């Protein structure tokens, strides 16, 4: 197994791709894969800042959870820093034929082919200067936009184009999986922070070296930088970090409100049944047996499967052998703390 890439190495790989596209007539496709909050957007922002500093044209868009129902939603959202759209919707309508929805083409295979040809012509024209295109959260992208990606990605072999894609691999996205197998892409897994990277981030956030106790509690984030930030900043805002002779220690064990609020938002984004399954699981602990969870809710494990999968897709749960577990202990602690005392 290859060694895990550090954040500095991932950053260098992206910055290097942006620098290379200025010197060469060709580019490449890069795919950042990782759970929610793991730092994909942070890395993409670093690449975008490098592009701005070097005069490389920058275009970006992110898919949204409801995009799958709207053809070409992702393509229609691609814009530069000034908000100018890459694609003219009128031209897309004309290319796609008469049938449209919300101003976006819906035509059949012939219409799709015409749209892809229009997209390729537009991207190639933009590549008159070195170009970086960032597309985030492709697990939510609409199938029509995804279908155009292999053809757009192929332009990197002949044009000064870097295509940077991000995705959450835990969320089921069959259309995306099929598309990615067709891309000649460099896969860059964004793994949890290494222990020394966690210490460095805590030191940056807290202003001093973390105590052993603070570091132990922060390990509940499982190396997720977003959770670490919410935890440390939450402790700071509540005045629960104290200076103990050159290192920072934590006062009281409660999960800070800022982290509880962030986790509650993620749980609340689930359907009501799945959210209730997550809350019930928090009562049972960080690692649990699905049969026991089913007994608590008076449901069979099979009846829980859809809700459990929804929580896995949301990066709240993960499978650990025959058991189910919260992906991060701090998430479980936050969900549990928010439950009324009467149901804990």
- Give the tens place of pLDDT for each residue, 265-283: 999 999 999 999 999 999 9
Residue 1: what pLDDT?
44
User: What angle is formed at CA 64 by the lines to CA 62 and CA 70, rounded to 5 degrees?
Assistant: 110
User: What angle is formed at CA 179 by the lines to CA 84 and CA 98, rounded to 5 degrees?
Assistant: 55
Position with higher pLDDT, 167 vs 65:
167
Q: Which CATH class is domain 270-343?
A: mainly alpha
Strands 185-189 and 131-136: unpaired
pTM of the full predicted structure?
0.87
Residue 89: what pLDDT?
60
Average pLDDT over residues 240-245: 88
Structure tokens at 318: 């993960």
Torsion of CA 215, 219, 224, 229, to 10 degrees: -40
The C-alpha atoms of residue 331 and residue 338 are separated, in whole angstroms, by 11
At 147 the three-state DSSP class reads: helix
Q: Cβ-count burial of 124 within 10 angstroms (0-12 exposed, 13-18 middle, 19+ buried)? A: middle
Number of neighbours of residue 174 by Cβ within 10 angstroms: 8
The C-alpha atoms of residue 334 and residue 344 are separated, in whole angstroms, by 13
- The CATH architecture one would assign to domain 7-189 is 3-Layer(aba) Sandwich (3.40)
Position with higher pLDDT, 343 vs 74:
74
In order of 6, 17, 135, 297, the CA distances from 166 in angstroms are 17, 15, 7, 36
Assess contact for 231 and 256: CB atoms under 8 A.
Answer: yes
Give the model confidence (pLDDT) of 288-312 as tens digits.
Answer: 999 999 999 999 999 999 999 999 9
Residue 116: what pLDDT?
84
Residue 144: what pLDDT?
87
The C-alpha atoms of residue 304 and residue 294 are separated, in whole angstroms, by 7
Number of neighbours of residue 75 by Cβ within 10 angstroms: 28
First-to-last alpha carbon distance for the chain, in angstroms, is 41
């Amino acid at each position: 197994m290859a060694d895990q890439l550090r954040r500095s190495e991932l950053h260098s790989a992206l910055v290097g791709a942006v620098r290379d596209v200025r010197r060469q007539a060709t580019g490449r496709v890069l795919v950042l894969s990782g759970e929610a909050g793991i730092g994909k957007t942070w890395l993409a922002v670093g690449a975008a800042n490098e592009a701005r500093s070097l005069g490389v044209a920058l275009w970006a868009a992110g898919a949204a959870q409801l995009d799958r129902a709207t053809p070409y939603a992702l393509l229609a959202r691609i814009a530069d820093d000034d908000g100018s759209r890459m694609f003219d919707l009128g031209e897309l309508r004309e290319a796609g034929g008469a049938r449209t929805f919300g101003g976006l083409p819906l035509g059949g295979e012939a219409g799709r082919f015409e749209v892809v040809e229009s997209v390729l012509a537009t991207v190639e024209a933009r590549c008159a200067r070195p170009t970086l295109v960032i597309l985030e959260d492709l697990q939510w992208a609409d199938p029509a936009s995804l279908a155009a990606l292999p053809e757009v990605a192929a332009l990197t072999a002949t044009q000064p184009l870097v295509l940077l894609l991000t995705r959450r691999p835990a969320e089921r996205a069959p259309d995306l999986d099929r598309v990615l197998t067709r891309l000649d892409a460099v896969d860059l897994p964004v793994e949890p922070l290494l222990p020394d990277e966690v210490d460095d981030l805590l030191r940056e956030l807290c202003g001093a070296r973390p105590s052993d106790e603070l570091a132990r509690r922060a390990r509940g984030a499982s190396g997720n930088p977003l959770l670490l930030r919410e935890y440390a900043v939450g402790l700071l805002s509540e005045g629960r970090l104290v200076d103990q002779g050159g290192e920072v220690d934590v006062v009281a064990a409660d999960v800070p409100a800022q982290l509880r609020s962030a986790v509650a938002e993620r749980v609340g984004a689930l359907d009501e049944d799945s959210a209730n399954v997550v809350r019930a699981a928090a009562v049972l602990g960080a690692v649990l047996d699905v049969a026991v969870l089913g007994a608590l809710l008076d449901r069979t494990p099979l009846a829980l499967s859809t809700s459990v999968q929804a929580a896995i897709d949301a990066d709240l749960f993960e499978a650990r052998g025959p058991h189910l577990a919260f992906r991060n202990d701090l998430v479980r602690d936050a969900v549990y703390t928010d439950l009324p005392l009467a149901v804990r």
